Structure 1
Amino acid sequence: MHTTTTAATPTTQFLSFTLGGLEYGLDVAKVQELRVLKALERFASDGEIIGGVAVSRGVVMPLVDMRAACGTAARAPDPMTDVIILRLSTCVMGMVVDGVTGVVSLAPEQVSPVPGADDAQVDYLIGLGQTGTRRLILVDIDRLMSVRRPRQDGARQVA
């Protein structure tokens, strides 16, 4: 994580974004760039979260539509729909979200465990960040993008 020290208090910076009315945060150091989603070239069948491909700095990458992954109804992109280009430990990919809301710096005391998240199925949740009245669900984006879920035919696939 991208940690900075200010007045002897280390803080971590998170890029905040919205999905389905909730606000999330991911380590800003994982962000390569931000783009507005103008069109989503689909190559997967309905119900798949891989929503298309994009080219960024000469790299062809998958676009994961997190709106579909979170169970919100598929809809056409609007001017607020953003793509976060991520540089993960295993690849570069784009993540479609409802919108990016900014960068938030959080000290360790501003992050608390997620209630009921003891399950290994959600080990990608870092905690809940709070600054003022704002609450962010903090995710480890490398872990989230490597989560495997069973397919209906019994095989395993990446979510």
Structure 2
Amino acid sequence: MARKLVVFDLAGELYGLDIFDVREIVKDTLVTRIPQTPEFVEGVVNLRGKIIPVIDLRKRFGFEKGEKTKDARIIIVDISGQEAGLVVDSVKEVAAVDESTIETAPDVTTVNAAFVEGLAKKDDKIIIIIKLDLLLKVEEKEMLKRMQ
């Protein structure tokens, strides 16, 4: 059985999100900073009249801050019923990955393994599949709700 993933680049690695968790992909847009938020929260964007919190995945994963390029995108996702934007370096493709090629992540990954659902093999590449429900702690989800 094939699973569809939205594949994106972040700090030179490929990551995937289940296509059912992705609402839309928008060009990097003006983000309004909100004081007293965690470092990984960029701020909020106004998307067609709706205020959506934006998370910088590089910061969330503890990576070095990279240069934003014209390819940067904000992926609007649903995290446990909460809409949020994820800043990524670029969106590559929507890929169909055979479920049988997905393996559990080893304990030594560059990302906190709690976020990682598994590793998918596609051609000669490895796609790190992100488990959105575990991207934020309960109190962080509550904080994002208050930002809307």
TM range (shorter): 0.7 to 0.9
The alignment status of 1:158 with 2:148, answered yes or no, reads no
Q: How many residues align?
A: 138
Corresponding residue for residue 153 of structure 1: none
Alignment-derived partner of residue 123 in structure 2: 132
Quote the Cα distance in structure 1 between the aligned partners of 2:20 and 2:49: 21
Question: Which structure would you say has the larger Rg?
Answer: 1
Contact kept, 8 Å, 1:39 with 1:77, in 2: the verdict is no
Q: Deviations over 1:29-77 (max 9, x none)?
A: 1111101113333224697111010122322111001122223333553
Please show how residues 98-113 of structure 1 align to structure 2 within 5 Å: 98-113=89-104
Shift in Å at residue 105 of structure 1? 0.8
CA RMSD of aligned residues (A): 2.3
**Deviations 1:92-144 (CA, angstroms, capped at 9, x unpaired):** 11110111111111112111111127xxx734321110011111001111221
In structure 2, distance between residues paired with 1:33 and 1:46: 24
Distance (whole Å) between structure 2 residues aligned to residue 46 and residue 86 of structure 1: 20
What 5-or-longer segments of structure 1 have no aligned partner? 1-9, 149-156
Who is 1:38 aligned against?
29
- Is 1:126–1:139's contact at 8 Å kept on the other side of the alignment? yes
Deviant stretches of 4+, over 6 Å: none
Larger RCO (alpha carbons 8 Å, 6+ apart): 2
Percent identical residues: 25
1:41–1:35 Cα change, 3 Å:
same
Matched residues in 1 for 2:55 and 2:114: separation?
20
Alignment of 1:42-81 (within 5 A): 42-44=33-35, 48-75=39-66, 77-81=68-72
* Change beyond 3 A, Cα 1:67–1:29: same
Per the normalisation by structure 1, the TM-score is 0.76
Residue 114 of structure 2 is aligned to residue 114 of structure 1: no
Inter-CA distance 82–49: structure 2 relative to 1 (3 Å threshold): same
Closer, same or farther: CA 89–158 of 1 in aligned 2, 3 Å: closer
2:83 — aligned with what?
A: 92
TM-score by length of 2: 0.81
Indicate if the aligned counterparts of 2:120 and 2:128 stay in contact, CA closer than 8 A.
yes
> How far, CA to CA, are the matches of 1:76 and 1:21 in structure 2?
12
CA contact (8 A) 2:11 2:66 kept: no
Q: What letter corresponds to residue 130 of structure 1 in structure 2? A: K
Of the structure 1 ranges 122-131 and 95-104, higher mean CA displacement relative to structure 2 is found in: 122-131
